[in-house]
Amino acid sequence: DAKTTQPPSMDCAEGRAANLPCNHSTISGNEYVYWYRQIHSQGPQYIIHGLKNNETNEMASLIITEDRKSSTLILPHATLRDTAVYYCIESGTYKYIFGTGTRLKVLA
Amino acid sequence: SAVISQKPSRDICQRGTSLTIQCQVDSQVTMMFWYRQQPGQSLTLIATANQGSEATYESGFVIDKFPISRPNLTFSTLTVSNMSPEDSSIYLCSVVREPQGTQYFGPGTRLLVL
């Protein structure tokens, strides 16, 4: 079973920030949090990952709580092309267990 | 990132037949994986493709049904044997790019079994 829990769906207005939460309350000290997205049955696309510090790249920001039990992926200015299923994964061994993810719909 | 290709991109097969899916990476990688994504579902790990030794299968997946080859560090194949309609899925390979440790996925092979 997946070790992370995410809301099944979210809507976001185009141009606004999309904040996608993830709970990973059983994460252990050497496990990273990874975020991927899958656009209409294409292969999942890597977005960002982190261990305990907040991270930012050209696609998104990742905010990890101090106790590491949850995180939030932030897409700062969502576009229609960001409509996808977003997966949060915790892993320390390269083996990924995918949950059901969050289906993000960006609305015009 | 990594450039990963899969062949075929899609296929329609008859039950009882077998299909071999190829995964090619643009550079040498240590770790390669095979996943299945059934219609409307999330991804499930089938096995780790090990170079020079037998693949390591996850619970619920067996070598007789999903034989895997890994002849070198840039290539792997997954065969779906004796297919039934329940095998209709998207099959994806992935590789680990080090030192970041992140996985990159191929575009997937869409299989429909009639």
**Lowest-confidence region among A1-5, A88-92, B18-22, B46-50:** A1-5
Give B89's pLDDT tier (boundaries 50, 70, 90).
very high
Q: What is the pLDDT of residue A95?
A: 83
Contact indicator for A34, A92 with CB cutoff of 8 Å: no
Q: What is the pLDDT of residue B11?
A: 97
Q: What is the pLDDT of residue A55?
A: 95
Nearest residue of chain A to residue B1 (CA atoms): A46
Residue A2 clears pLDDT 70, i.e. is over it: no
Number of neighbours of residue A91 by Cβ within 10 angstroms: 19
**B104, A99: Cβ pair inside 8 Å?**
no
**B92, A42: Cβ pair inside 8 Å?**
no
pLDDT tens-digit series, residues A43-84: 999 999 999 889 999 999 999 999 999 999 999 999 999 999
Q: Is A98 on the interface with B (CB under 8 A)?
A: yes
**Lowest-confidence region among A5-14, B20-29, B50-59:** B50-59
| Cβ-nearest to A94 among B42, B43, B96 | B96
The Cα A27–Cα A14 span in angstroms is 33
CA neighbor of B91 nearest in space, from B12, B27, B9, B25: B9
Give A93's pLDDT tier (boundaries 50, 70, 90).
confident
Q: What is the pLDDT of residue B99?
A: 75
Q: Is A101 on the interface with B (CB under 8 A)?
A: yes
Give A1's pLDDT tier (boundaries 50, 70, 90).
low
Residue A41 clears pLDDT 80, i.e. is over it: no
Q: Residue range B20-35: average pLDDT?
A: 95
Do the strands B32-37 and B43-49 form a parallel or antiparallel pair, or are they unpaired? antiparallel
Q: What is the pLDDT of residue B82?
A: 97
Residue type, B109: T
pLDDT tens-digit series, residues B66-78: 999 999 999 999 9
Across chain A, what does the average pLDDT equal?
A: 93
Kindly list the residues from chain B whose CB atom is less than 8 angstroms away from the CB atom of residue A101.
42
> Which residues are CB-contacts of A20 (< 8 A; sequence separation ≥ 6)?
A6, A10, A35, A72, A73, A74, A75, A86, A88, A102, A104
CA distance B81 to chain A (A): 23
Kindly list the residues from chain A whose CB atom is less than 8 angstroms away from the CB atom of residue B45.
95-97
Kindly list the residues from chain B whose CB atom is less than 8 angstroms away from the CB atom of residue A98.
42-44
